[in-house]
Amino acid sequence: MADNATLVADPHTSLRAQLLEPITAGRLIATLLVLFVGSLIVDYTWKPTYPTSIPMVGHGRGFIPGFKNFFGYVFHYRDWIIEGYEKHTKNDRAFIVPAAVSRAYDIILPRSQTAWLLERPDNVVSAHNAHNDVLYSDYNFLGKAHARTKWYNHVIHRSLARHLPVIVSGIEEEVVHSTDAAFGLDTDEFKTINLWEAWLGIVPQVTNRMLVGNPLCRHEDFNKSMVAFVDAVIINCFLLNMIPKILHPLFGPLITLPNRRHWKKASKHSIPLIEQRLRDMARKEAGDPEFETWSPPEDFITWSIRLAKAEGNVGELNPVNTSLRLLPIQFAAIHTTVLTGHSMILDLLTSNPDADFIEGLREEAARVLAEEGGHWTKSALARLYRLDSAIRESQRLSNFSATLVERVVVAKEGITNEAEGWHVPQGSYISFNLQGLHHDGDMYEKPDEYDAFRFSRQREVYEALPAAEKDPDEGLRLKKLGMVTTSDHHLAFGHGRHACPGRFFVAHELKMVIAHLLLNYDIAPFEGERPKPKWVGATIIPPVEVTIKVKRRKGTVPQA
């Protein structure tokens, strides 16, 4: 029974109730909507204005059409790129395509203007800044200081190509180890394998043999953390695309919190390794007798330390910094290589069975490998003309980006395009139409068909000629059909002086993995219709649920 004392309301509770009473779900949503629209308006005023003489696809110019373009970008970007190619690029004209809400629109140049753009100096148009903007590197790669450095590119440019012949044997070890683990050793029964997961089990291990060496490249927790980091970057890019740029300083650090967590997990393994490598290399340089016969592993860690010492760059001898430099390389190397390998196997399995591409690739791989005594070398991999062509053809047909070779205008005075007579201001984005170029019927016979040997037939005929009959100029022309040779119609690795510096390693990696797979496994014919990838804006979502059936070929299992 309650006493007769007068009940007095808690003044704090009463005040809190009065403050919260107006905050209904409807009002909260309305407030957020007003904030979002207001942010869009501010963003709109900040974006560069393009000349009306440049035609545009999408819903048109202005704020209201721009709002419609925001939603259209999510669902119709690839369609717009194809439309622009047919209407404008084929007529040798640039066009404008809407971009994500946080980005300025892209100006898509025709192929004839490739040289004009790529010859502009870096203080006029910047590839580095454009890449950082597209990937939201200031947030995804743990801070502007780390995101804006060019050190990791500098190391790769200076060291990777010259050390490729040395590291091939180590890469081959990881290819065999990871591919056997991913596809199994059962020679009796076909095994159902998720193709995407198989490539995710192979590529990080092989890539990290080049980056951090053995045994860390085989450490499951380290590789899982790096894959999780890469996945987080992709998700964050999509989210930040959809948020007005003015709100990025607020949401960017929050959205990318998982990135730091994944890096910390990985750094527990990488930082001690880097610290040990620094000590060992210092003892070697000091003439320590215990290190007289020791040589540092040829990997990114060693190359970075060696170059930092040679150039007197003390900051890059910090183990934490070195572990951070690994992040953008992990992203570039893992994501695109898995996509390429996944698409290539699907292209191969769903190609015309009468062409017998798989047997043709097997014959070539077995022959070249036997010529080298059973182990891959740089020279042997260069002679895999059919496999090189099969990968390049997949890059052409199953492109994972609709546009590429992005540049942002950084010159304060902007840039003038003399060919078409227009001028655009600082902050403008300029790119090329990968989707259109790679599927142009005027450039490729049956452009929507996978022809694995499209780029190798002429090369094989030339190589079969007697030495006296070979024209050096023709040999040079045919060499340009290789997958690592970029051009104004082969843009999978970019083009010009900023083309992907790691493409030679990626080519070696893919060739060894696919050759090992085809030589050691039977793959059952693909069942049913091949699922198509989905496009959300400029981002492709591959059919990661696809499975294939494989069985180890008898007589190929290594004996213990």
In CATH, which of 3.40.50.10540, 3.40.220.10, 1.10.630.10, 3.40.50.10800 is domain 144-399+444-488+492-552?
1.10.630.10
CB 432 within 8 A of CB 114: yes
Which candidate, 546, 543, 523, 527, places its Cα nearest to that of 535?
543
pLDDT score for 128: 93
The pTM (predicted TM-score) of the whole model is 0.91
DSSP H helical segments within 21-126, as ranges?
Answer: 25-46, 63-87, 114-118
Give me the average pLDDT of each 10-residue run along the chain (560 residues).
48 53 65 73 84 95 85 92 96 96 94 95 96 94 84 94 94 97 95 97 98 97 97 94 91 95 98 98 95 95 97 96 96 95 97 95 97 95 97 95 93 97 97 94 95 95 88 88 92 91 95 98 93 88 95 85
In which residue are the tokens 């949401």 written? Answer: 251
Give pLDDT, residue 6. 45
Q: In whole angstroms, what is the distance from residue 483 CA to residue 391 CA?
A: 7
Contacts of 70 (CB under 8 A, 6+ apart): 40, 98, 100, 101
- d(CA 376, CA 513) in angstroms, rounded, equals 11
CA distance 255 to 495: 32
| Beta-strand relationship, 106-109 and 429-433 | parallel
What local confidence, expressed as pLDDT, does residue 7 receive? 44
pLDDT at 5: 47
Beta-carbon contacts of 20 under 8 Å, excluding residues fewer than 6 positions away, are: none
Secondary structure (3-state) at 533: coil
* pLDDT for res 99: 93
Tell me what pLDDT residue 91 has. 96
Residue 287: C-alpha distances to residues 284, 291, 294, 298, 309 (Å): 5, 7, 11, 20, 17
Binding-site residue ranges: 500
Please, which contacts does 80-88 make with residues 24 or more away whose CB atoms are closer than 8 Å?
A: 81/57, 81/108, 81/402, 81/403, 81/433, 81/435, 81/436, 82/435, 82/436, 83/57, 84/57, 84/108, 84/433, 84/436, 85/433, 85/435, 85/436, 85/437, 85/440, 86/436, 87/55, 87/57, 88/55
Contacts 24+ apart (CB under 8 A), 418-425: 419/112, 419/113, 419/116, 420/53, 420/54, 420/93, 420/94, 421/53, 422/50, 422/51, 422/53, 422/54, 422/94, 423/51, 424/48, 424/50, 424/51, 424/107, 425/48, 425/49
Is 491 within 8 Å of 498 (Cβ atoms)?
no
Residue 14 confidence (pLDDT): 58
Tokens of 298: 């040829």
Segments making up each domain of the chain, as ranges? 36-41+49-124+405-435, 144-399+444-488+492-552
Q: What is the pLDDT of residue 523?
A: 96
Instruction: Output the known binding site for heme.
Output: 500
Q: Which of 304, 310, 281, 285 is nearest to 159 (CA)?
A: 304
For residue 441, what are its two tokens?
A: 């019927």
The number of angstroms, rounded, from the C-alpha of 246 to the middle of its chain's C-alpha atoms is: 27
pLDDT at 537: 87
pLDDT at 222: 98
**Inter-residue contact 31 to 39 (CB < 8 Å):** no
Tokens of residue 267, six digits: 């750094």
Tokens representing residue 192 in the block: 């159902």
